[in-house]
Amino acid sequence: MEKRKELIVSAIENGTVIDHIPADKVYQVVKILGLDKATHPVYLGINVESKKFGTKGFIKAADKYFAPEDVNKIALVAPTASIIEIKGYEVVNKMTVQIPERIEKIVKCFNPNCVTNKEHDIATKFRVKYVDGKLRLVCHYCEKYTSEENIEFI
């Protein structure tokens, strides 16, 4: 007898599926999107078998759609993720996240002396740069680098 190898997860009528999240980043994505405080159903899959990635994670958020700045947050944490918007059980939009060239108002500068940490009415701005293959955010004001492991979302 042949064994089934598919994972069956309840469909959502309306909302967003974030798929292809690195398995070790699922909880971080939940937190940065505030889904840990959600009042609507949120389904998580962690260490799910993936032909493309070995293992992956996913999040299904019923009745929730994400603004562009939220998608940018996802891209910084999980650059392999895809966003699937669903309405009436049908896929209405699907996209792969992309890290933008500039990040504004969503990440705190790592430098405690940066003007954005001293004057709270100044919005943060960063250029995205890769140094030795690693993501770095370069502050527009103080030019200090914030590495991927030090990113703190506002």
Query: Using CA atoms, how far apart are residues 136 and 112, in angstroms rounded to an integer?
Result: 17
**In the chain, ranges of CATH 2.30.30.20 domains:** 102-153
Predicted TM-score of the model (pTM): 0.85
Percentage of the chain modeled with pLDDT above 70: 95
15-96 has which CATH code? Answer: 3.30.70.140
Q: Give the per-residue pLDDT at 49.
A: 84
pLDDT in tens, 102-129: 999 999 999 999 999 999 899 999 999 9
| DSSP assignments along 1-61, one per residue | -PPP--------SSEEEEEEE-GGGHHHHHHHTTGGG-SS-EEEEEEEEETTTEEEEEEEE
* Residue 77 pLDDT exceeds 80: yes
Please name the fold of domain 102-153: SH3 type barrels. (2.30.30)
**In the chain, ranges of CATH 3.30.70.140 domains:** 15-96
